Each structure stands twice: as C-alpha cells, then as structure tokens.
Amino acid sequence: MSSQDTLLEVKNLHTGFNIDGRVHHAVKDVSFSVKPKEVVCIVGESGCGKSVMSLSVMNLLPKHNGKIDKGEILFEGRDLAPLSEKEMNAIRGKDISMIFQEPMTALNPVLTIGYQLDEVLINHTTISKEEIRRKSVSLLKQVGISRADQIVNEYPHQLSGGMRQRVMIAIAIACQPKLLIADEPTTALDVTVQAQILELIGKIQEEVGMAVLLITHDLGVVAEMADRVVVMYAGQVVEETDVDRLFYEPKHPYTKALLESIPKMDEKRDVLNTIEGIVPSLKNMPEKGCRFVDRCPAAMDVCREMDPILGETDKGHAVRCFLYEESFPQSSDKRAEVQ
Amino acid sequence: MTKETVQSEHLLQVQELKKYYPVRGGFFRRKVGDVKAVDNISLELKRGETFGLVGESGCGKSTAGRTIMRLFKPTGGKILFEGQDITELRGSGLRDLRRDIQMVFQDPYASLNPKMMVGSIVSEPMINYGMGSESKLKDEVMELLKRVGLPEDAYYKYPHEFSGGQRQRIGIARALALKPKLIIADEPVSALDVSVQSQVLNLLKELQEEFQLTLLFIAHDLSVVKHMSDRIGVMYLGNLVEVADGEDLYKDPKHPYTQALISAIPQPDPRNKSERVILSGDVPSPQNPPTGCPFHPRCPKVMPHCSEVKPQLKEVNRDHRAACLLYE
Ligand SMILES: Nc1ncnc2c1ncn2[C@@H]1O[C@H](COP(=O)(O)OP(=O)(O)OP(=O)(O)O)[C@@H](O)[C@H]1O
Ligand SMILES: Nc1ncnc2c1ncn2[C@@H]1O[C@H](COP(=O)(O)OP(=O)(O)OP(=O)(O)O)[C@@H](O)[C@H]1O
Ligand code: SF4
Ligand code: SF4
Ligand SMILES: [Mg+2]
Ligand SMILES: [Mg+2]
C-alpha cells in the first residue's frame, strides 16, 4: 500500500504495562489502517485495549509503566512510535487530534473556553493575533454553539456535558487535522445529545475532509457512523471489514455472539443470546492460544495450542480464528512468519 | 399496615406523585427554591408485570423509584400498595413495607458492603426480619446464590473478588432473599458490558416468571427497557409524558419527545439509517422548569399555547396515554 491510500497504518502494535515487575500486553499484535477521509470504528467491550491503542498512536501512554514494545505507527508513511515528545507535540493537535469520553478532564478548569481555543491556534497556525479570537468564535459557531461570543469568556464548568464535548471538538478541529481520534466521545451523554454530537462529527468530517478513528462499545454507533470496523477482543483485532459485511456477514464467533446479545428495538425476543463468562483480565490472559477460547461456542483443541493469526478470508475482510485459517491465501507464509 | 389482602388487580398505584428537593442558599442556608425532581407521575403496576420507566439523565427516574419504595417522603400525591395507602407510612408499617419492596441498584459495587462475605450480604435482610440465624439460613442462601448463577464458593468470598456482572447477581440475590412482591431495579445493567448485560437481563426475566415478581425496571436505554417491559412510561423533566404497551410505544409513539428519543437511538443496522429528529439544546434544569409543557423549548411541534398550558396525561388510544396538547 502506498502512503497515498493510507493515512494511518498501525502494524503489529504491542503495548505493555509493567505490573508488579512483569510486562502485560494490553494491546497485542494490533494492525489496521485508516484511509484519508474514512471513518473507521474500533469496537469492543470494556478493557479490550481500545484506549491503550489510541493513546499509543498519540504517544500519550503513562510514562511510568506503559510502553510500546513492538510495532509501527505509520502516519503518512512516517513512524510515530520512536518520535520525541517535541516532535510529537508538532503533530498532536495539528495533524492528529483527539477527543475523549469526559471532556472535563481534557479542558483546563481555570482557563476560559476562548483562551484554550486561542492557544491551539497560536501554537499551530500563523494566524495574526487580531484574527485569533475571531477564528475561535467562528469555530464555536461551527460546532453549533449558539452564544459563541459569550461562551468564549466562560469556564468549562459553566457548560453542559454536550456543550463541553462541542468545545472539545472545536479545539480538535481548529487546525484542520487529517485525523481525528475520538475515544467514546458520546458515552457520557444522553441519547438525544449523543445524536447531536454524532451528527456534528459527521458534518465536520465532511467539511474538514478529515479521517475519523471512532472508538466505541456501542454497535448502534458503529452502524451509524463507520465506513470500516475493527473489532477488538482482549487486546487483539479479531475481525476487520466494511460496516455492511460486519453486520450482515460477521465471521468471528465473538462478533457473531456480540451482535446477537444486544436487544434490538424492532424485534421481540424472550431470551437474548449471551456470551458465557467474562473478558479475561490482563493478568489472567491465556499464555498461548486464542484469547476467546473459554467463551467460544466453536472452540477446538487447536485453539488452546496455537495463537490464531489475523488473515483475510475475502478481500477486505480479515478474521483471527482457526475456523477460517485455511481460507487465508497467504496462510502458510503468515504462520511461518509468526513462528 | 393491616394484613387484609385486598386482591386488587394492581399491586402498585401511583397518583400525581411529587418529590421536590429543597435548594438552600445564602448565609443562613435558607430554602431558596425547589428541584422538582418528580413533578407529576401517575402509573399503575399490575401484578406480575414489568413496567419500564425510561428517560434521560436527571429526569427523575431514581427519585421516582426511591419515593415509591418510601425511602423518601413524597412532596405530594399518593402511593397505594396492594390497595393500601402507604404515602404517610411510618415506623413498623414502613418496616413491613420494606420487606415487600426491594431494590436492585445500578452500581453493584457501591451497594454491597465490601467488608462482608457474600453469604452474609445475602442473608442479612433475612436475619433482620427474624427469619433465622446465618447458619440456619445457609442452605437457603446457597440455593439462592446458585439460582442467580454464582459459583458454589461464592458464599465465602467478598464483593471485590467478583466481576461487575457477578456483583449484580449478588445484588439480585439479596433483593430476592425476602421474597418481595415488587422489585424496583434502577439501571441494573447500565454499568455492564453488552455480553454481560444480556446475561443479567435474561436472569431477571427468568426470576420474574419463577417468583412471579412485579418489576419496575428503570433505565435510560430504551432498547433495553423495551426488551424487558410489558408497558413503558417515558419521563421528561420530572413528568411522565407517555405510557403505553412496549410495542405500541415503539411503533406509534405519540409524544414528540418519545418520537425524538426513539429516532435518536442508533440502530445496529447499517442498511437502516432512518431520518433523525435531532433535538436542539439540552434538558432544562428541574429547578427552573419551563412554563406550560416542560418539553416546549425543544419540541419540534411546539404551538403558541404550549408555553402557557401544562398538558395532562390523557388517553390518546386504547391503553395509550400521552401528555401533549396536540391531542387535547
Ligand atoms: N495505566 C495502566 N496501567 C496498567 N494497566 C492498564 C493501564 N491502562 C489500561 N490498563 C489495562 O489495559 C487494558 C486495556 O485498557 P483500555 O483502557 O485500553 O480498555 P478500553 O478498551 O479502552 O476499555 P473501556 O471501554 O472501559 O474504555 C485493561 O485491562 C486495563 O486494565
Ligand atoms: N438528594 C438530592 N438533592 C437535590 N437534588 C437532587 C437529589 N437527588 C437528585 N436530585 C436532582 O433531581 C433531579 C432528578 O434526579 P434523579 O437522580 O432522580 O434522575 P435520574 O432520572 O435517575 O437520572 P440518572 O439517569 O442520571 O440516574 C436531578 O436534577 C438531580 O440533580
Ligand atoms: S480460534 Fe477457536 S476459540 Fe478462537 S474464536 Fe476461533 S474457534 Fe473460537
Ligand atoms: S404540548 Fe406542545 S410543546 Fe409539549 S410536546 Fe405537545 S406539541 Fe410539543
Ligand atoms: Mg477506553
Ligand atoms: Mg438514576
């Protein structure tokens, strides 16, 4: 793939945490890519490594115990993993921006909204001093904040949750980034406000022409927003494909079970499908074999012995599961690579 | 409470319930206003049914649930349980009531005493009501733990040794211990992952049939509420704005807020991206609720008199009530 078709390419990413003197991988062998202007959703249950993956891309891992052990994070062909703090600062907020679940933690409570917006513009653009405030106000208007000229002088705690998330989006898009990483941006919001914010992200994505990496645990949000979907389970990518095939031709036993375990508005069922058990914690990850094996209805002996690899069954549809490995065209080479 | 059993069809009747919280301010902490957390709720629960109460954060769902089980004294209105007026109940009458109405909470961790063994947590209410000593109750509690799907040795473990879903099972076992007639489940699965959420929802449904429970199921997720409930009440800013059979409510919502709420829920189907009704603005504060219809500042169908007249819950179709001036 040339760097023209891919904006971000994460290759074999391994991110570990040092817990009681041992390294545990919260992200183990994650690969996926994002094309320019594409919306890619990362979906998975709590603790599966979605946030650690996005913090790895942004180089924002907690310094005292978190570290990228292996793999590459290619942004427009350049590996971000080894970059210094200074080099990353030039990229963060300019080429890649990020918004979080709880905007309050990302906004500075003692600075006005306007100050915080101005700061991003001062750091990353050459807009003249006189112009900056005007640009800040217009950004707030762009994200649908009505009293923008007053809001610039207010503090984060004076705003509602939905308004704060709008402000975060304004800050994130201030420099027209090529990639926006949004980590559960609507999870803390009410559904009617979530609908507003998702619509806003969709609208801005088109206006700015940026790609969005949207992290969520909500399959409804995925269906609504995604072009392509990456399903994570216990620190690994288990399936990756376009949104239509994910919902209509899911392959991995985890994806299938997940889709069947959510109650749907338009149908009446007495019993929901369930996935027995829970996601293993970092410390209790199986040493080898498929990480889903204890909960998988299709588990076979081989699943405990060897690690399944992520491979394409059809063009643009990748799965990590022994049920499909024979159909990987490159299966034997890939296996050889791993072993 | 006198123990003549009035076998009315309704286990619970709530009439024009109000619960205000005082707002205090100034140097003398004088009362300066009210948070009208529950402003007007009327509903009935038939024996054995699940009634779902749905609405967005802060609309008063928890306050309603807690007032109904008389953890709070209502500011106004009436609550009838098995035909008996429990609005003013105190002392031993209230103690008897607590046995019949139990609650399951959202955050199973916060609601379980971390220093107590699971066995003691579940037997505690039984001991409190003089049903026997912990050792005598042990078999029964073991049986209950097994019934909610916990492993054998759970009895001797502490809450922190369990996952979120398992803790919720502990909370459910404790609520069942006294064989209550009504269970109020306040967001029992909101803190759980989808795969675990479905386990707990299935369990609640099974138990309800088995123990013939009446369930007031409170949640903000309409898909979950619809899956669980026979009938659904939609709340907005302290008011019940629509009540209907679950299927009716979904297929033919009458209140503009319910319509917006349904259309705002992202559906897990990429081939079905329906047109959305996007509401503007946020929910107003219950301390200063709008005049007239509480939804009028955000209502896409607002009419001039909506800011003046407060609509009452009225039958629009058979067994389908809505509080909206469009139907008056
Ligand atoms: N700073 C840290 N130190 C040690 N372990 C961590 C740290 N941050 C995350 N983890 C662990 O890494 C795993 C992945 O966590 P992560 O936050 O990425 O999950 P997530 O998919 O974002 O979950 P959620 O949906 O709850 O946000 C978890 O087991 C978590 O406990
Ligand atoms: N003890 C209290 N004192 C004062 N105000 C309160 C108190 N408890 C709740 N409130 C307020 O009453 C309103 C209703 O709160 P309640 O907790 O009943 O809503 P809810 O629908 O359960 O919301 P959520 O979905 O967030 O749980 C809110 O505005 C809340 O801030
Ligand atoms: S590799 Fe085996 S255990 Fe893992 S998902 Fe596939 S069939 Fe199930
Ligand atoms: S009464 Fe008026 S404002 Fe209220 S919901 Fe009906 S149409 Fe909308
Ligand atoms: Mg996360
Ligand atoms: Mg609540």
A2, pLDDT greater than 50: no
DSSP state for residue A329 in the 8-state scheme: T
A200, pLDDT greater than 70: yes
Mean pLDDT of A166-179: 93
A329, pLDDT greater than 80: no
Look up residue B24 and give its two tokens. 């205090």
What values do phi and psi take at B44, rounded to 5?
A: -130, 145
Residue closest via CA to ligand 4's atom 3 equals B296
Please indicate, yes or no, if residue B284 is contained in any of the structural domains. yes
- Closest alpha carbon to B240 in B224, B216, B223, B263: B216
Mean pLDDT of B169-190: 95
**Total length of chain B:** 328
Return the bridge partners of B33, or none. B23
Distance B105 CA to ligand 6 centre (A): 9
Residue A3, pLDDT score: 47
- Outline where chain A has alpha helix (H): 50-58, 85-91, 103-106, 113-124, 129-142, 148-151, 161-173, 191-208, 219-225, 243-248, 253-261, 302-305, 331-338
Which range, of A76-85, A129-138, A326-335, B78-87, averages the lowest pLDDT? A326-335
A145, pLDDT greater than 50: yes
Residue ranges of B 92-131 with Cβ closer than 8 A to chain A: none
Please indicate, yes or no, if residue B279 is contained in any of the structural domains. yes
Cα separation, B151 vs B161, in Å, equals 12
Contact assignment for B222 to A263 by CB distance below 8 Å: no
What total number of domains does chain B contain?
Answer: 1
Nearest to A274 among B199, B267, B279 (CB): B199
Q: Which of A166, A278, A284 to mutate to test the interface with B (most CBs of B within 10 A)?
A: A278
B212, pLDDT greater than 50: yes
Residue A331, pLDDT score: 54
Please indicate, yes or no, if residue B260 is contained in any of the structural domains. yes
Q: Could you tell which of A14, A17, A30 is best to mutate to test the pocket of ligand 1, judged by most ligand atoms within 8 Å of the CB? A: A17
Residue ranges of B 46-85 with Cβ closer than 8 A to chain A: 56-57
Cα separation, B193 vs B165, in Å, equals 8
Residue A111, pLDDT score: 95
Instruction: Say if ligand 4 is within 6 A of residue B234 CB.
Output: no
Q: What is the ipTM of this complex?
A: 0.88
How would DSSP label each residue in A226-294? Answer: -SEEEEEETTEEEEEEEHHHHHHS--SHHHHHHHHHS--TT---SS-----S-PPPGGG--SSS-TTGG
Contact assignment for A192 to B261 by CB distance below 8 Å: yes
A333, pLDDT greater than 80: no
Would you call A226 an interface residue with chain B, using a CB distance cutoff of 8 Å?
yes
Residue ranges of A 284-323 with Cβ closer than 8 A to chain B: none
User: Can you state the angle between helices B164-176 and B118-128, rounded to 10 degrees?
Assistant: 20
Note the ligand closest to the C-alpha atom of A295.
3
Note the ligand closest to the C-alpha atom of A250.
3
Say what percent of chain A tops pLDDT 90. 72
pLDDT band at A334 (very low <50, low <70, confident <90, very high): low
Return the bridge partners of A27, or none. A15
Note the ligand closest to the C-alpha atom of A23.
1
Cα separation, A312 vs A245, in Å, equals 13
* Mean of per-residue pLDDT scores for chain B: 92
Share in percent of chain B as helix, strand, coil (round to 5): 35, 25, 40
Domain that holds residue B280: 254-328
User: Which tens digit of pLDDT belongs to each residue from A249-278?
Assistant: 999 999 999 999 999 888 888 899 989 888
Would you call A86 an interface residue with chain B, using a CB distance cutoff of 8 Å?
no
Instruction: Say if ligand 2 is within 6 A of residue B61 CB.
Output: yes
Amino acid occupying residue A280: P
Cα separation, A116 vs A104, in Å, equals 13
Mean pLDDT of A137-144: 91
User: Which tens digit of pLDDT belongs to each residue from B24-45?
Assistant: 887 888 888 899 999 999 999 9
Residue ranges of A 44-63 with Cβ closer than 8 A to chain B: 45-46
User: Which tens digit of pLDDT belongs to each residue from B2-13?
Assistant: 444 556 789 999
Please indicate, yes or no, if residue B274 is contained in any of the structural domains. yes
A19, pLDDT greater than 70: yes
Residues in A closer than 8 angstroms to B280, CB to CB, are 196
Q: Shortest Cα distance from A26 to chain B (angstroms)? A: 18
pLDDT band at B111 (very low <50, low <70, confident <90, very high): confident
Note the ligand closest to the C-alpha atom of A299.
3
A330, pLDDT greater than 70: no
Cα separation, A305 vs B20, in Å, equals 61
Cα separation, A56 vs A13, in Å, equals 9
pLDDT band at B1 (very low <50, low <70, confident <90, very high): very low
A316, pLDDT greater than 90: yes
Residue A268, pLDDT score: 84
Residues in A closer than 8 angstroms to B273, CB to CB, are 223-224
B309, pLDDT greater than 90: yes
Return the bridge partners of A180, or none. A97, A212
Distance A81 CA to ligand 5 centre (A): 20
- Closest alpha carbon to B104 in B153, B152, B62, B60: B62
Residue in chain A nearest B276 by alpha carbon: A195
B97, pLDDT greater than 50: yes
Contacts (Cβ under 8 Å, ≥6 apart) of B279: A192, A195, A196, B260, B264, B298, B300
What number does the ligand 3 atom closest to the CA of A303 have? 2
Contact assignment for A261 to B227 by CB distance below 8 Å: no
Instruction: Say if ligand 2 is within 6 A of residue B84 CB.
Output: no
Cα separation, B82 vs B260, in Å, equals 35
A162, pLDDT greater than 80: yes
Residues in B closer than 8 angstroms to A46, CB to CB, are 193
pLDDT band at A1 (very low <50, low <70, confident <90, very high): very low
* Mean of per-residue pLDDT scores for chain A: 91
Q: Shortest Cα distance from A302 to chain B (angstroms)? A: 25
Cα separation, A27 vs A53, in Å, equals 6
Residues in B closer than 8 angstroms to A193, CB to CB, are 282
Residue ranges of A 143-162 with Cβ closer than 8 A to chain B: 160, 162
Residue A129, pLDDT score: 84
Cα separation, A120 vs A95, in Å, equals 12
How do beta strands B214-219 and B231-236 pair? Answer: unpaired
Q: Could you tell which of B298, B303, B313 is best to mutate to test the pocket of ligand 4, judged by most ligand atoms within 8 Å of the CB? A: B303
Residues in A closer than 8 angstroms to B237, CB to CB, are none
Contact assignment for B282 to A248 by CB distance below 8 Å: no
Q: Shortest Cα distance from A14 to chain B (angstroms)? A: 24
Note the ligand closest to the C-alpha atom of B103.
6
Contacts (Cβ under 8 Å, ≥6 apart) of A247: A223, A259, B268, B269, B270, B271
- Closest alpha carbon to B12 in B93, B61, B70: B70
A62, pLDDT greater than 80: yes
Residue A332, pLDDT score: 56
Mean pLDDT of A69-96: 94
Instruction: Say if ligand 2 is within 6 A of residue B218 CB.
Output: no
Where does ligand 1 bind, in terms of residues with CB under 6 Å? A 17, 19, 26, 44, 46-52, 62, 65-66, 217, 281-282
Please indicate, yes or no, if residue B267 is contained in any of the structural domains. yes
Look up residue A80 and give its two tokens. 């971000």
pLDDT band at B272 (very low <50, low <70, confident <90, very high): confident
Would you call A165 an interface residue with chain B, using a CB distance cutoff of 8 Å?
no
What number does the ligand 4 atom closest to the CA of B256 have? 5
Q: Shortest Cα distance from A222 to chain B (angstroms)? A: 7
User: Which tens digit of pLDDT belongs to each residue from A31-56?
Assistant: 999 999 999 999 998 889 999 999 99
Would you call B32 an interface residue with chain A, using a CB distance cutoff of 8 Å?
no
User: Which tens digit of pLDDT belongs to each residue from B220-270?
Assistant: 999 999 999 999 999 999 999 999 999 999 999 999 999 999 999 999 999
Would you call B261 an interface residue with chain A, using a CB distance cutoff of 8 Å?
yes
What number does the ligand 1 atom closest to the CA of A50 have? 21
Sequence ranges of the domains in chain A: 251-339
Please indicate, yes or no, if residue B276 is contained in any of the structural domains. yes
Return the bridge partners of B245, or none. B231
Distances (CA, A) of B211 to B176, B204, B217, B310: 9, 10, 16, 41
Phi-psi group of A193: left, alpha or beta (phi > 0 → left; psi -120 to 50 → alpha; rest → beta): alpha
User: Which tens digit of pLDDT belongs to each residue from B141-151?
Assistant: 999 999 999 98
What is the residue whose two structure tokens read 């076992």? B173
